[in-house]
Structures are given as C-alpha cells and as structure tokens.
Structure 1
Amino acid sequence: MSFTATTLEGTKAEQYEQLTQQARALVDGESDRIANAANISALVNHALSDVNWVGFYLFDGTELVVGPFQGQPACVRIALGRGVCGTAATTRETQRVPDVHAFPGHIACDGATRSELVVPLYDGDTLVGVFDLDSPIPDRFDADDQAGLEAIAQVFVRSLSV
C-alpha cells in the first residue's frame, strides 16, 4: 500500500472533504476494523489541531471497549448510556459537547479534556461503536467539524463491508 497524506487546503469544509478522501484511500480494499480504526485515528489526529485524543470505542455486544486511538491512555470500558460516548451510542446522535464539565455523567479519562465530539457508528441497525475526539480547548468543535467527522466515520463503517 502506498499512501501519502497531503496538506489540507481551502475552507474547513473543503479540508474535511480532502481528509475524507484520504481516509477512503487508507481503507480502500481493507475490511479489518482494527487496522482501519488505527489508520483513521492516526490520520485525523495528525490533520487536526487542538485535539488531545482521537479514537474508537468498539461495541463488544455488551459495552464500548477502547479500540485504536491516538492520545493519552484511556478508559477501557464504557457502559451504554454512560458519559458522552455511551450517550452517543444509545441515542444514535452525534454528541458535540462544548464543555465536558457541564455534561451530566461525563467520564473524565483525561483531565485536560474540555470539549468532545462523539459520532455513533452504526451499520444499519447494528451498533459498531463510536468515533471519539477530545480537545483541551473549550468549544473546539463546530458544525463543520461535526459534518466532516461524521463523513469520516461513515468511511470507517463502510469499510467493514468490503
């Protein structure tokens, strides 16, 4: 496999489109969820500024279990419905949290985290896990980040069916 990350240019939306294309190239022809989660985590971590954790929690049939990530060591298991990740998984809605300290039940894996964005990963009606990003900057993630990261999350989910 030959892959080269390129410098992102243009508006934030255009940069996310370029990042999504890079994610597609990374997972092209590969269906292993660990390999794809690892590469997507690394790609996004290196492309985005002001993030201190980028990774996946994968559903094991009972709870979310930490998967490939970039950042400080993380909480290993998260119950469905608990914290930002568990809430995203059960509501099937992206959670964009400007201040994690104001989120009821927030799980503080890294005390430096101030804001978080979690995209639920579903293959049809089947929960795969969540794609989680943390930032030490309050209100780091906006609607453009959400749309871009949801697109990248879908690249991951689609790769599982290859």
Structure 2
Amino acid sequence: MATIDYRLLVRQLEALLDTRDWLTNSAQTCAFLMQMLDDLNWVGFYLQRSPRMLSLGPFQGKPACHPIPFDKGVCGAAARTRQAQRIDDVHAVADHIACDAASNAELVIPIMVNDSLWGVLDLDSPTVGRFTAEDQAGIEALMAVFIAHTDLEAV
C-alpha cells in the first residue's frame, strides 16, 4: 500500500469544509475519507445523543448497526475510554459488533468537544492489520481539522 500524505489530506479537508454546519461537514468528511484512503469498506460517525449510547450519523458504506452501547464493540470502547481504538483483527475482539462481515480491521477515533464526547469516527477495512500508528495519527489530525471547522455544539 502506498504511503499516505496526511499533511496534504489535512490541507484538502480544510479547503473542503467551507461551512460550520455539523451535518454537512460530517457527511463531507466521510465521503472525503472514503475517496482518499485505500482499502476501506466503511467510514462514518456515531454520535452520543443519549447517555452511554452511540447513534448512527453520516457514513459511507453498507447499512450500519444502530444504536451502539458504550459497553459493546470497538466503537463502544472508544466512547467509554475516550481513547482511539486501533484493531488489527476485529474477530479477535470478543464483543465486536459485526455490521459487515467483510470488515476485518477497525480504527475508531473519539471526537471530544470541551472535554465531552461528541461521538466517534469509525473506519473499517476488509484487510487485517490495515491501520498503522501513522494512519491513526493522520486520522487524528484530520479529526482536529473537522473539530476546528465545525459547530459541534449545535447537534
């Protein structure tokens, strides 16, 4: 797989997010990531709209699981711990929620606003071990752009 220039992607996402609207920016971000990153089969946001529960937000890919409690799956772990989850083989995770049987690796980044969880960004790949530490750092940088350019308190 080719090396990804996340610095270039950061500049491109900054240019793409030309509104403060959370819905537009989250939809644009998902589409951007799905088009710009290889070997993904799902990209989307899950939002915290009720206590200890994630609700499906904008995404690209097959229909998804909804809702996701904080005590289940990789997205739930990211929401519960407020720490990124980079999983090489989701089938090795006992409580993995299998929305798409083709998904084998997962990267989930919590989205924090004023020390509160807004939601998570979930990326799935059909390739075991797809996400590296560099991918995690790059996606976290992209989420910093998303947060800086989006009114997330309006949700």
Q: Give the TM-score normalised by the residue count of structure 2.
A: 0.91
Structure 1, residues 10-47: CA drift from partner, whole Å, max 9, x if none?
953xx11111111111113x221111010000001001
User: Residues of 1 paired with 2:10 and 2:110: CA distance?
Assistant: 17
Task: Identify the match of residue 54 of structure 1 among 35, 43, 50.
Answer: 43
Residue of structure 1 equivalent to 2:135: 145
1:95 aligns with 2:69: no
State the one-letter code of the partner of 1:49.
Answer: D
Query: How far off is 1:161 after superposition?
Result: 3.9
Structure 1, residues 125-162: CA drift from partner, whole Å, max 9, x if none?
11110001000000000011000001111112222349
User: Residues of 2 paired with 1:85 and 1:110: CA distance?
Assistant: 14
Q: Compared with structure 1, are the counterparts of its residues 109 and 11 closer, same or farther at alpha carbon in structure 2 (3 Å cutoff)?
A: closer
Unmatched segments (≥5 aa) in structure 2: none
RMSD over aligned Cα atoms: 1.5
Between Structure 1 and Structure 2, how many residues are aligned?
150
Q: Which runs of 4+ in 1 moved over 3 A?
A: none
User: Residues of 2 paired with 1:74 and 1:66: CA distance?
Assistant: 8
Query: How far off is 1:61 after superposition?
Result: 2.7
1:73 aligns with 2:63: yes
User: Residues of 2 paired with 1:131 and 1:152: CA distance?
Assistant: 11
Task: Identify the match of residue 101 of structure 2 among 104, 111, 114.
Answer: 111
State the one-letter code of the partner of 2:86.
Answer: R
Unmatched segments (≥5 aa) in structure 1: 1-9
User: Residues of 2 paired with 1:106 and 1:31: CA distance?
Assistant: 33
User: Residues of 1 paired with 2:74 and 2:17: CA distance?
Assistant: 27
Query: How far off is 1:104 after superposition?
Result: 2.4
Residue of structure 2 equivalent to 1:45: 34
User: Residues of 2 paired with 1:155 and 1:78: CA distance?
Assistant: 25
Answer whether contact 2:45 2:122 (CA < 8 A) is retained. Answer: yes
User: Residues of 2 paired with 1:18 and 1:148: CA distance?
Assistant: 10
Identity of aligned residues (%): 49
